[in-house]
Amino acid sequence: MIEFETHRIPYDYIVIDGHYGSISFEAMHWLSKHDVSIALLNWNGNLLSTTLSQETLNALLKIRQYEKYLNTESRLYIASRIVKQKVKSSLGLLKVLSDFYDIDLSTINKEIEMIDYNNINSLMMYEGRIASAYWSELTKIFNSLAKDFHFEGRKNLSYSWNMNASDLINALLNYGYAILESIIGKYINTIGLDVSIGYLHEISPSKHPLVYDLQELFRYVIDYSVIEFLESRRKKSDFLTTRNYHIRLKPNTAKLLIEKIKDNFNQRYEFKNKQYALENIMFENIRELSRYIIGNSKNLEFSIPDIKIKEMITLRSEIRSCQLTLRKVKS
């Protein structure tokens, strides 16, 4: 059993993944007092619910948020800023990984240059082409690390929304994105924005478009965390297969992935001339959106650093370099 003293809990959120167990009202009250959210995941890694701190009461911010959504020009502008930063982050990750893996950046660079949109639909098509090029390269990396995991991409023949993963890597990605969704939702709530009104994703019953919008800015962190996971561990025995042939993570597997994600969000970067953890930078970028929405900023520019490569993947680079040197010597 793990015990924590008052005001000394070292976690920002708790993930509950399982069908059995209990949590007391006293524990939930204590966690809420310490601003620690609880994310409840389904068996397949999808987010079922999350506890949030008391919502910030900012009626004016919400009114401005609705107005920006209803104004076609404003909505397109915000959506385009989100896509711009997502593209930058995606390309940044591929560039960093290109020092360690065989990556062809020509296709994604070509798609980035073909900027062509004048409405939300055409913007989504533009983003989709870049995402396709991005996943084409990530698929090569995943297959080089775990060929027997049979990853073909984020498209799923059975489920168009990539749920109920039928392969091991999609199970890892889905689980990671659920964690990210929980963190994003917590900060949106803290700032006082309405999760049901997004700018890139359409409004839909029981959906949280603003969460999905802002997730796009940080998906690259999850993608890199999965690569790190595969660098350190890639055993089929770390997963379970249901009767419907869907994949889920065993508890120790989920724990290891969460640790990778946590470490990456705790990584410190220079931001506004100071060193901040990436998770704090996430919060500041969401707050920057709120400043633009309410009218305190004339322009919206997200500022998110590229991921830093750590020891495991650096070791792989050194091994690869030695292999290339040996090949040259032999030839």
Contacts of 102 (CB under 8 A, 6+ apart): 140, 144
Contacts of 52 (CB under 8 A, 6+ apart): 37, 185, 186, 189
Length of the chain: 331
Nearest to 169 by CA among 194, 148, 199, 190: 148
Ordered by start, the domain boundaries in the chain are 59-330
Would you write out the chain's pLDDT as a tens digit for each of its 331 residues?
Answer: 566 666 666 666 677 766 556 777 677 666 666 667 676 666 555 676 666 665 566 889 999 999 999 999 999 999 999 999 999 999 999 999 998 999 999 999 999 998 889 999 999 999 999 999 999 999 999 999 999 998 888 875 544 444 567 789 999 999 999 999 999 999 999 899 999 999 999 998 878 999 999 999 999 999 999 999 999 887 888 888 877 777 888 889 999 999 999 999 999 999 989 999 999 999 999 999 999 999 999 999 999 999 888 654 545 555 555 555 555 555 5
Q: Are the C-beta atoms of residues 285 and 201 closer than 8 Å to each other? A: no
CATH of segment(s) 59-330: 1.20.120.920
213-267 pLDDT, tens digit per residue, is 999 999 999 999 999 999 988 788 888 887 777 788 888 999 999 999 999 999 9
Report which residue type is found at 187.
Answer: Y
Using DSSP's 3-state secondary structure scheme, residue 17 falls into strand
DSSP 100: T
Using DSSP's 3-state secondary structure scheme, residue 50 falls into strand
